[in-house]
């Protein structure tokens, strides 16, 4: 391929290589150079991160024209190599003139430390399409680290597509301790694109099927999936799913009863915006939650049901009795609002704080009343989100107001974390895919969902709760959430965003590359590999929208033939 040049410094960490003219070398190729060190033979593996061409013997920019007229110059093509591994680990530079070649066979795995990975899963292919790039599962399953974060421009970076591909890879890699009982929960925030994970894609071609085969993965859709969608915005009518692309019997509308709301202490998730009064509102919220929890526990003693007994009016302070307020069975959200106003008014908070508290709740009434409702004669348990029923659970947020999305995400995250911690074991794992992290875990302001996500990011590995977060701009997400993941991945980035400190793990050349990445290309950083690696991944084997569903072949119609026609 070429030789180490002597006109530039060669160090144990980087060096330049002179290339033979016409040598098919490009950025991201893996190379190896063998040299003699004082400690014996030494192999230096590296990745090409710069390739440049120049004229030798010219002085001025205009000499490029003179070269065509006979100016004696020579073309020089050189590549810059960033060292990724030394075998043995003896830090000694290659010598000028040492021959350099591309890696062969198992040397690619050696160059990226993949030969040291005991448990691994495919994360994509090298940009040449020749080698499989693996991720170390020990840095995702909690053994050595956990969590994953994906950044990129909306619509171009294919963040959600890559997240679902990684789930597909994890579930089929063969290295999960209990793959059949491993679960994944995906929050669908954009339309109904993720409601077809169980349907084969009709745009799959032979080339992409070959990529799946090269990765050792089946080119098939997910086979154990359930879909939860919001109910229609009719708090008192029949419970119907709010979905247009799937049949009603293929999805399950979800909601919470008033008793669930009180028992699970979900009031906090109706407050997702910070402000000057955030601390006062949070204190009042927790007080009201405690009162609602007490009433729900009392109701549980009486037997199953959707409602709780609460006072609807403020207590009469002129009377010496502990409470003069009558108790009423509360089964719907509008009535629950009256009860919470009565509870808040009887706390030691000022009327201004109570007023701000209730203004936010009343503004959310029409936006969440169909999510916290009276099930009437319906089976409420069937509409509760049970993420253990199937391997993959898609919770659709499509069509919900912002406060409704925050409520659903916060409530489901709390349920998963509490149920996982109650088992006392990290296995089997539970992967949680949350897009638009900057909305649910903003860098500034108070948000109960942010606190929940932060708790998962910092302590989730101990309970086997693994967060796969995605956002357009990591600079707008709580710092500890984007700093904790062992795997950090970027797709196409805005050029200004790529210069932010959150992307400090990217070398300058890769920051520039991130601004021009095309769909299907990502840059993956993981602890085992000393440099981020650009990869490509195949298109989904499952449909990503309704018109991509692969329809079954039409049934053959057999016509009856009269005996006289034989």
Cα separation of 267 and 274, whole Å? 15
Q: Would you tell me how many other CB atoms lie within 10 Å of the CB of residue 362?
A: 12
List all residues 6 or more positions away from 355 whose beta carbon is below 8 Å from its beta carbon.
none
Phi and psi angles of residue 169, each rounded to the nearest 5 degrees, phi first: -65, -45
Phi and psi angles of residue 542, each rounded to the nearest 5 degrees, phi first: -115, 155
Residues 125 and 131 sit within 8 Å (Cβ to Cβ): yes
pTM over 0.85: yes
Residues 184 and 430 sit within 8 Å (Cβ to Cβ): yes
Residues 368 and 272 sit within 8 Å (Cβ to Cβ): no
Per-residue pLDDT 10s for the chain (566 aa) are: 899 999 999 999 999 999 988 888 889 999 999 999 999 999 999 999 999 999 888 888 888 888 888 888 888 999 999 999 999 999 999 999 999 999 988 999 999 999 999 999 999 999 988 899 999 999 999 999 999 999 999 888 689 999 999 999 999 999 998 899 999 999 998 888 899 999 999 999 999 999 999 999 999 999 999 999 999 988 677 889 999 889 999 999 999 999 999 999 999 999 876 554 567 788 899 999 999 999 998 888 877 778 898 888 776 544 444 444 578 899 999 999 999 999 999 999 899 999 999 999 999 999 999 999 988 766 788 899 999 999 999 999 999 999 999 999 999 999 999 999 999 889 999 999 999 998 899 888 777 888 899 999 999 999 999 999 999 999 999 999 999 999 999 999 999 999 999 999 999 999 999 999 998 999 999 998 989 999 999 999 999 988 888 877 665 555 555 555 54
* R_g (Cα) of the chain, nearest Å: 30
Model pLDDT, residue 123: 97
Q: Would you tell me how many other CB atoms lie within 10 Å of the CB of residue 324?
A: 14
- Tell me whether residue 350 is exposed, middle or buried, using C-beta atoms within 10 angstroms of its C-beta: 0 to 12, 13 to 18, 19 or more: exposed
Model pLDDT, residue 273: 65
List the structure tokens of 337: 């609002």
Residues 370 and 233 sit within 8 Å (Cβ to Cβ): yes
CA angle 249, 255, 260 (to 5 degrees): 140
Residues 524 and 125 sit within 8 Å (Cβ to Cβ): no
Q: From residue 283, give the alpha-carbon distance in Å to each of 92, 347, 407.
A: 61, 11, 18
Give the distance from CA 360 to its chain's centroid.
30
CATH architecture of 138-250+385-548: 3-Layer(aba) Sandwich (3.40)
Phi and psi angles of residue 180, each rounded to the nearest 5 degrees, phi first: -65, -30
Model pLDDT, residue 193: 87
Give the residue extent of every domain in the chain: 2-111, 138-250+385-548, 258-368
Q: In terms of Cα–Cα distance, which of 430, 396, 139 is closest to 245?
A: 396
Model pLDDT, residue 324: 45
Q: Would you tell me how many other CB atoms lie within 10 Å of the CB of residue 355?
A: 14
Cis ω on the peptide bond leading into residue 88 (within 30° of 0)? yes
Model pLDDT, residue 270: 93
List the structure tokens of 247: 């049949």
């Amino acid at each position: 391929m070429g030789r180490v040049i002597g006109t530039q410094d060669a160090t144990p960490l980087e060096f330049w290589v002179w290339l033979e003219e016409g040598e098919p070398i490009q950025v991201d190729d893996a190379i190896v150079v063998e040299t003699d060190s004082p400690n014996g033979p030494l192999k230096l593996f590296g990745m090409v991160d710069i390739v440049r061409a120049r004229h030798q013997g010219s002085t001025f920019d205009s000499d490029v024209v003179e070269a065509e007229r006979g100016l004696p110059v020579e073309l020089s093509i050189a590549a810059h190599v960033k060292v990724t591994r030394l075998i043995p680990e003896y830090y000694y530079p290659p010598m000028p003139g040492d021959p350099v070649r591309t890696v062969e066979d198992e040397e690619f795995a050696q160059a990226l430390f993949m030969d040291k990975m005991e448990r691994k899963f495919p994360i994509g292919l090298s940009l040449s399409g020749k080698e499989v790039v693996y991720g170390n599962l020990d840095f995702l399953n909690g053994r050595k680290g956990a969590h994953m974060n994906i950044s990129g421009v909306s619509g171009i970076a294919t963040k959600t597509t890559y997240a679902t591909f990684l789930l597909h890879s994890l579930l089929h890699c063969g290295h999960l301790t209990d793959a059949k009982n491993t679960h994944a929960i995906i929050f669908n925030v954009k339309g109904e694109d993720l409601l077809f994970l169980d349907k084969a894609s009709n745009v799959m071609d032979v080339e992409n099927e070959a990529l799946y085969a090269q990765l050792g993965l089946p080119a098939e859709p997910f086979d154990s999936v359930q879909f939860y969608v919001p109910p229609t915005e009719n708090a008192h009518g029949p419970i119907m799913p709010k979905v247009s692309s799937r049949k009603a019997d293929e999805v399950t509308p979800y909601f919470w009863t008033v008793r669930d709301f009180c028992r699970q202490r979900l009031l906090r998730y109706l407050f997702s915006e910070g402000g000057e009064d955030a601390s006062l509102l949070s204190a009042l919220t927790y007080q009201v939650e405690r009162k609602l929890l007490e009433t729900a526990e009392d109701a549980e003693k009486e037997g199953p049901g959707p409602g709780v007994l609460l006072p609807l009016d403020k207590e009469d302070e002129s009377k010496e009795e502990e409470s003069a307020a009558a108790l009423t069975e509360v089964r719907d959200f509008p009535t629950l609002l009256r009860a919470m106003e009565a509870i808040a008014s009887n706390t030691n908070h000022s009327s201004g704080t109570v007023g701000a508290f209730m203004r936010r709740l009343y503004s959310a009434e029409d936006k969440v009343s169909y999510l916290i409702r009276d099930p009437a004669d319906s089976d409420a348990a069937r509409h509760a989100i049970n993420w253990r029923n199937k391997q993959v659970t898609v919770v659709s947020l499509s069509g919900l107001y912002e406060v409704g999305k925050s409520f659903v995400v916060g409530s489901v995250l709390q349920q998963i974390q509490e149920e996982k911690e109650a088992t006392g074991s990290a296995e089997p794992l539970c992967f949680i895919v949350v897009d638009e992290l900057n909305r649910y875990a903003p860098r500034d302001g108070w948000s109960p969902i942010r606190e929940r996500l932060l708790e998962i990011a910092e302590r989730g590995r101990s309970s086997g709760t693994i967060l796969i977060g995605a956002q357009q701009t990591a600079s707008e997400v709580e710092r500890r959430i984007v700093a904790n993941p062992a795997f950090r991945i970027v797709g196409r980035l805005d050029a200004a965003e790529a210069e932010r400190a959150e992307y400090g793990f990217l070398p300058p050349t890769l920051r520039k590359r991130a601004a021009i990445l095309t769909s299907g290309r990502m840059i993956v950083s993981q602890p085992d590999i000393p440099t981020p690696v650009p990869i490509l991944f195949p298109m989904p084997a499952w449909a990503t929208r309704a018109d991509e569903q692969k329809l079954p072949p039409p049934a053959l119609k057999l016509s009856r033939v009269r005996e006289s026609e034989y």
